[in-house]
Amino acid sequence: MKYLFRLLMATTLLLSFSEAKEFVIDNAHSNIGFSAKHMMISNVKGNFNVYNAEIDYDADKKVFNKLSAKIEAASVDTGIAKRDEHLRSGDFFDVEKFKTIDFVMTSMKEGKVYGKLTIHGVTKDIILENTIHGVVKDFQGHQRVGFSLEGKLNRKDFGLTWNKILEGGGLTVSDTINITVEVEAIEL
């Protein structure tokens, strides 16, 4: 009887994990973006062009069992070469020393993804609003999931402290950085 009970429990446990599936990011349909205020009067947007992620998603429960990402800091792209060079320098990302920006999810609750974000060698907790846009089968029969993550961080918390004070007392670059991540991922 004990053996039958254990077998039943093991089967139930195995079936509960069978709905979770691993996905890889479709870089052609995804974006890791950010924006910051410039001189406190306009928003400057940018993104990172080179990244990958490990995604374990349960479509039935609409939750991530695992979500982690590695971004190449040198792939920062704002569309202005001189600004991008400055962002790669020691004033900001210092990409020669800190090659990647890393995120590891620690939990997911009520539409929020909680995790550890490492930028410039500093790791801090971050909370990102999560929206699942849906799960579909593509033309080749592959399952795809689409989702967004949005949040804010204070760049100074990560040691990104460069700034210049304007004549009227304002700052050249805001401390608050808005993060917007759009992902389409394909089931392995």
Write out pLDDT tens, residues 124-150.
999 999 999 999 999 999 999 999 999
Q: What percent of the chain has pLDDT over 90?
A: 76
CA-based torsion, 101, 145, 62, 45: positive or negative: positive
Q: Smallest Cα–Cα separation from 36: which of 184, 152, 174, 180?
A: 174
Q: Which amino acid is residue 75, in one-letter code?
A: S
pLDDT tens-digit readout, 47-83: 999 999 999 999 888 899 999 999 999 999 999 999 9
Q: Contact at 8 Å (CB) between 56 and 64? A: yes
Count helices and strands (H / E) in the chain: 2, 11
Domain boundaries, the chain: 19-187
**CA 40 – CA 33 distance, rounded (Å):** 19
CATH topology of domain 19-187: Lipocalin (2.40.128)
Q: Smallest Cα–Cα separation from 101: which of 115, 81, 121?
A: 121
Q: Smallest Cα–Cα separation from 137: which of 129, 128, 146, 147?
A: 146
The pLDDT of residue 19 is 59
Q: Smallest Cα–Cα separation from 158: which of 143, 175, 145?
A: 175
pTM: 0.84
pLDDT tens-digit readout, 5-48: 343 344 444 444 445 689 999 999 999 999 998 887 789 999 99
How many Cβ atoms sit within 10 Å of the Cβ of residue 149?
22
CB-hemisphere CA count at 13 Å for 154? Answer: 4
